[in-house]
């Protein structure tokens, strides 16, 4: 949409780069290689046109047809719906090489074709007949554009000349000359002003008045590179331009003199990124420094939040007076930077190092501009010719101080608010050689640095005193600190990585596996993972607690920089010769995924970059289908030595001992009033799951007339299963019934086990034997204890009076003590091990 200049839709990816683009009222046509595709609804491919033997470089919609031209000088007319070839025209390369094509308005079935030889040809497509040949202007035709007037065509030449030609009478109406090279694009205003815009390879736009036949204004440096297209929106004073600098801009012509001003723009880097890093704690913005010298912020939620912080410059005021193209004061690209958002509203919160320069610059995120300070050590003011440059920077978590390391081995501290120098580490130098990395912990207590002298040094941040030194076997290349856990990673030139604990100041982990230079590292927010990228085109994820490799994938292009979102949702990567930043989702946040350690000889598979078109390979698909892991199902009990608890909610068993108190508390203040006319109810069986009672089958012939008083005391299903379990020693059915009851039903069932409740001593003895069997199996341990506690509360006096019941109760007590002793032993072993790991210096 031009109003907001936001992305409306994103199409599916194509396997190759798009070489040309065209659209009609229904479809969008693209060409890649020798294939032409038609997109519907700007997303899915609905038509594919196959027939060219060379790369297609020109497309022209033509009513219900599409015209395409390839590099072999073959023109094909397609039926857009049937995808069939309507006609084909071949041109002789020695006489006529097609370079431009257009359809003149009101010319039925006719197209105008331009050539590199400078001549034009008018063809009737329906008859495949050449109607007329226009004389060459001595230069290659680059653009053909229909004018608002009928029969008038604008012809752009490689010499920079623009010819306004009447093709009906073969007359040249006017000529214009631009001195910026070949004409790349032409467009006309259609809102009543006789204005024409023409693009050039230098990024300039010429605005021409067709009535006065003169140049109105020069829009210089509209783009930093060649302009690919200029288009006036129909009926509006708006000009849309795009170029190879990865930018699209909208200019509005509402000022006197015909000068266009920038209304809206969307842009990215026009050179690959050198360093990326998430900014803030919400994980929605990524700072990116590119080889084009700019620092930009990209939003992961919507592109309308993207913004550019500009290009670094020695003198900002002088740079504003000159154009960016001719700015001699601009700084080289940023190599590394650090950012902290805690004081962004008060002063600058970004510090950056520039390639080959000693000066470190500050940047302000809120103002989207370069900051107020350029930090440079005073010791080098007298001799600026020294080959000394800043190598590493870091900002404290409070946002007040910045630490800058240089290639001479010095490390300096500055105040970010005032830009004042606050001291240096070491009496003369911090390291005997270039400093490769520096970081400050989260409490501003310790500063860690490493250099080419093969040492890791710990400094007191406030007093700048050296506290500890760790010698290294190889020269380090970079350092990364995770402030929350106190762990920092050091990458070496031998492609290995070590993890050092700032508390114990010892090496706790060492990882090897990369076969190329390690470009960047990042920690997960919880400090559990370390993710590394290397020139061997792999991205590896290391698990710190287990010390193993848990994920590895291979890319077509090496990742230059990586950063993990503070929320852990995404991993962002930038790659060699790639302008974009790619986001990878963290699958462990969406699914329960097991990450077993990978073997040392693991061969990673190639993974396509996000948004890229996957390559169809049936063999790979078959292999993936065979090795697809099945969903893990947890067994009922992991080990026989472990105690397994039930998955029932606490309300089903935790309040069994307090049912009397609960009933007393819930007793109504007034007795319930009986209904005047009670409705008819179908009898149900008591339980958590309501079930209708089965109607008894009455046999009137065999029914006895003698009343049996024993049927009044009915046996429940639990009671019957206890009797069967006493004979078969299988108590699983009985326990399953009890497990499915609610607290009140369990209380009633256990009360009815006593002789005064209609039960018997044998059934009570059977219940105690059921508890022993559950304790032996160590399954549903919490339920067995709860049921036993309620049973003892209800029948403790009766158990103490009956020898058989006392015998069974003694067995329960012995089994319970034995089980708890085993569990307590395992608890003590685990606690002892954890205490040792926390206190011992490993």
Report the pLDDT averaged over residues 736-740. 88
pLDDT at 104: 94
Q: What confidence tens digit (pLDDT) does each residue in 136-176 have?
A: 999 999 999 999 999 999 999 999 999 999 999 999 999 99
Confidence of residue 592 (pLDDT cuts 50, 70, 90): confident
List all residues 6 or more positions away from 448 whose beta carbon is below 8 Å from its beta carbon.
438, 439, 440, 441, 456, 457, 458, 459, 479, 481, 488, 502
Q: What confidence tens digit (pLDDT) does each residue in 782-820 have?
A: 888 888 998 898 888 888 888 888 998 899 899 889 888
Separation CA 485–CA 52 (nearest Å):
60
pLDDT at 72: 93
List all residues 6 or more positions away from 390 whose beta carbon is below 8 Å from its beta carbon.
353, 354, 357, 358, 359, 360, 404, 405, 406, 407
pLDDT at 289: 93
Neighbours of 174 (CB within 10 A): 12
> Has residue 476 got a pLDDT over 80?
yes
Separation CA 430–CA 410 (nearest Å):
5
**Tally of CA atoms within 13 A in the half-sphere of 222 that contains its CB:** 34
Identify which has the larger pLDDT, 615 or 429.
429
Q: What confidence tens digit (pLDDT) does each residue in 411-429 have?
A: 999 999 999 999 999 888 8
pLDDT at 428: 85
How is residue 21 written in tokens?
């683009």
> Has residue 731 got a pLDDT over 70?
yes
Neighbours of 142 (CB within 10 A): 21
pLDDT at 696: 58
Report the pLDDT averaged over residues 93-120. 93
pLDDT at 497: 94
pLDDT at 334: 93
> Has residue 27 got a pLDDT over 80?
yes
- In eight-state DSSP terms, residue 330 is B
Report the pLDDT averaged over residues 200-225. 91
pLDDT at 396: 94
> Has residue 68 got a pLDDT over 90?
yes
- Burial class of 586 by CB neighbour count within 10 A (0 to 12, 13 to 18, 19+): middle
Cα 68 from chain centroid? 38
Separation CA 185–CA 102 (nearest Å):
13
Quickly tell me which residue has 């006392």 as its tokens: 806
Report the pLDDT averaged over residues 642-648. 83
pLDDT at 693: 65
> Has residue 321 got a pLDDT over 60?
no
Task: Provide the edge-to-edge strand list for the sheet that holds 35-40.
Answer: 20-23, 27-32, 35-40, 44-50
> Has residue 88 got a pLDDT over 90?
yes
Identify which has the larger pLDDT, 709 or 223.
223
> Has residue 320 got a pLDDT over 60?
no
Report the pLDDT averaged over residues 588-598. 84
Report the pLDDT averaged over residues 506-512. 91
Separation CA 534–CA 553 (nearest Å):
11
pLDDT at 755: 87
Report the pLDDT averaged over residues 577-586. 90
> Quick check: 518 and 534 in contact, CB under 8 A?
yes
Q: What confidence tens digit (pLDDT) does each residue in 652-670 have?
A: 888 888 877 877 777 777 7
Confidence of residue 702 (pLDDT cuts 50, 70, 90): low
How is residue 383 written in tokens?
């001799």
Task: Provide the edge-to-edge strand list for the sheet that holds 581-585.
Answer: 559-564, 570-575, 581-585
List all residues 6 or more positions away from 200 whose beta carbon is below 8 Å from its beta carbon.
160, 178, 180, 181, 182, 183, 184, 206, 226, 227
Separation CA 415–CA 422 (nearest Å):
7
Report the pLDDT averaged over residues 483-490. 93
Report the pLDDT averaged over residues 406-415. 92
Beta bridge partners of 359: none
How is residue 246 written in tokens?
């990865």
pLDDT at 676: 56
CA-angle at 364, arms to 360 and 370, nearest 5° = 55
Q: What confidence tens digit (pLDDT) does each residue in 185-205 have?
A: 999 999 989 999 999 999 999
Report the pLDDT averaged over residues 380-392. 77
pTM strictly above 0.85: no
Share of the chain above pLDDT 90, in %: 50
Confidence of residue 707 (pLDDT cuts 50, 70, 90): very low
Instruction: Out of 93-97, 125-129, 407-411, 588-592, pick the least confident.
Output: 588-592
pLDDT at 43: 81
pLDDT at 725: 86
* Average pLDDT of the residues of the chain: 86
pLDDT at 380: 79
pLDDT at 622: 38
3 state SS for 347-363: CCCEEEEECCCCCEEEE
Report the pLDDT averaged over residues 213-227. 90
């Amino acid at each position: 949409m031009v109003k907001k200049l936001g992305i409306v839709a994103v199409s599916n990816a194509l396997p190759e780069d798009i070489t040309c683009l065209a659209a009609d009222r229904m479809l969008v046509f693209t060409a890649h290689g020798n294939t032409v595709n038609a997109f519907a609804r700007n997303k899915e491919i609905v038509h594919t046109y196959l027939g060219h033997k060379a790369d297609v470089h020109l497309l022209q919609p033509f009513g219900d047809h599409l015209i395409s031209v390839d590099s072999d000088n073959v023109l094909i007319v397609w039926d857009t719906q049937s995808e069939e070839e309507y006609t084909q025209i071949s041109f002789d390369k020695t006489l006529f090489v097609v370079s431009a094509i257009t359809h003149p308005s009101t010319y039925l079935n006719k197209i105008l074709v331009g050539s590199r030889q400078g001549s034009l040809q008018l063809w009737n497509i329906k008859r495949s007949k050449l109607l007329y040949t226009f004389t060459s202007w001595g230069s290659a035709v680059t653009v053909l554009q229909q004018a608002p007037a009928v029969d008038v065509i604008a012809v752009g030449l490689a010499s920079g000349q623009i010819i306004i030609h009447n093709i009906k009478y073969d007359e040249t109406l006017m000529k214009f000359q631009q001195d910026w090279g070949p004409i790349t694009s032409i467009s006309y205003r259609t809102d009543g002003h006789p204005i024409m815009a023409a693009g050039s390879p230098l990024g300039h736009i010429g605005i021409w008045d067709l009535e006065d036949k003169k140049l109105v204004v020069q829009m210089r440096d509209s783009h930093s590179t060649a302009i690919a297209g200029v288009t006036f929106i129909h009926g509006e004073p708006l000009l849309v331009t795009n170029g190879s600098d990865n930018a699209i801009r909208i200019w509005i012509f509402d000022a006197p003199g015909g000068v266009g001003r920038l209304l809206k723009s969307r842009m990215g880097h026009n050179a690959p990124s050198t360093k990326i890093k998430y900014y803030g704690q919400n994980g929605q913005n990524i700072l990116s420094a590119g080889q084009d010298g700019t620092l930009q912020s990209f939003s992961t939620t919507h592109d309308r939040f993207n913004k550019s912080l500009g290009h670094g410059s020695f003198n900002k005021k002088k740079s504003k007076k000159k154009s960016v193209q001719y700015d001699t004061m601009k700084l080289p690209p940023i190599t590394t930077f650090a950012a902290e958002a805690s004081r962004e509203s008060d002063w600058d919160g970004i510090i950056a190092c520039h390639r080959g320069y000693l000066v470190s610059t500050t940047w302000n995120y809120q103002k989207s501009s370069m900051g107020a300070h350029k930090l440079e050590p005073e010791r080098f003011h007298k001799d600026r010719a020294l080959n000394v440059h800043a190598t590493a920077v870091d900002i404290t978590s409070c946002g007040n101080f910045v630490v800058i390391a240089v290639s001479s081995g010095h490390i300096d501290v500055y105040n970010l608010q005032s830009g004042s120098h606050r001291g240096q580490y070491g009496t003369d130098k911090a390291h005997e050689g270039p400093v490769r990395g520096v970081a400050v912990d989260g409490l501003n207590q310790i500063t860690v640095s490493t250099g080419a002298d093969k040492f890791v040094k710990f400094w007191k941040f406030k007093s700048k005193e050296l506290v500890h030194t760790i010698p290294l076997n190889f020269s380090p290349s970079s350092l990364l600190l995770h402030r929350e856990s106190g762990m920092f990673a050091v990458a070496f030139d031998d492609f290995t990585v070590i993890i050092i604990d700032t508390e114990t100041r010892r090496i706790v982990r060492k990882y090897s596996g990369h076969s190329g230079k390690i470009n960047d590292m990042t920690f997960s927010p919880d400090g559990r993972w370390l993710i590394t990228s290397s020139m061997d085109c792999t991205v590896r994820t290391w698990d710190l607690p287990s010390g193993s490799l848990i994920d590895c994938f291979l890319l077509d292009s090496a990742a230059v920089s990586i950063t993990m979102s503070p929320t852990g949702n995404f991993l962002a990567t930038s790659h060699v010769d790639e302008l974009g930043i790619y986001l990878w989702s963290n699958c462990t946040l969406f699914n329960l995924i097991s990450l077993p350690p990978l073997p040392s000889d693991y061969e990673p598979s190639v993974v396509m970059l996000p948004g890229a078109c996957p390559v169809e390979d049936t063999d790979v698909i078959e292999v993936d289908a065979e090795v697809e892991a099945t969903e893990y199902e947890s067994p009922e009990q992991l080990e026989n030595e472990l105690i397994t608890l039930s998955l029932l909610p606490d309300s089903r068993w935790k309040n069994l001992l307090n049912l009397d108190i609960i009933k007393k508390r819930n007793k109504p203040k007034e007795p319930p009033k009986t209904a005047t006319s009670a409705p008819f109810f179908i009898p149900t069986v008591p339980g958590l799951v309501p079930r209708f009672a089965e109607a008894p089958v009455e046999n009137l012939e065999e029914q006895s007339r003698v009343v049996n008083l024993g049927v009044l005391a009915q046996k429940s299903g639990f009671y019957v299963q206890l009797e069967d379990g006493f004979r078969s020693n299988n108590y699983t059915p009985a326990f399953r019934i009890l497990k499915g009851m609610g607290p009140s039903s369990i209380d009633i069932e256990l009360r009815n086990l006593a002789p005064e409740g209609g039960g018997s001593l044998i059934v009570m003895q059977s219940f105690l034997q059921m508890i022993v069997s559950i304790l032996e199996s160590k399954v549903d341990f919490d339920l067995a204890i709860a049921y036993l506690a309620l049973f003892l509360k209800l029948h403790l006096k009766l158990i103490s009076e009956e020898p058989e019941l006392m015998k069974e109760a003694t067995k329960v007590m012995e089994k319970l003590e034995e089980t708890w002793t085993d569990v307590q032993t395992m608890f003590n072993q685990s606690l002892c091990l954890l205490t040792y790991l926390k206190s011992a210096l490993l």
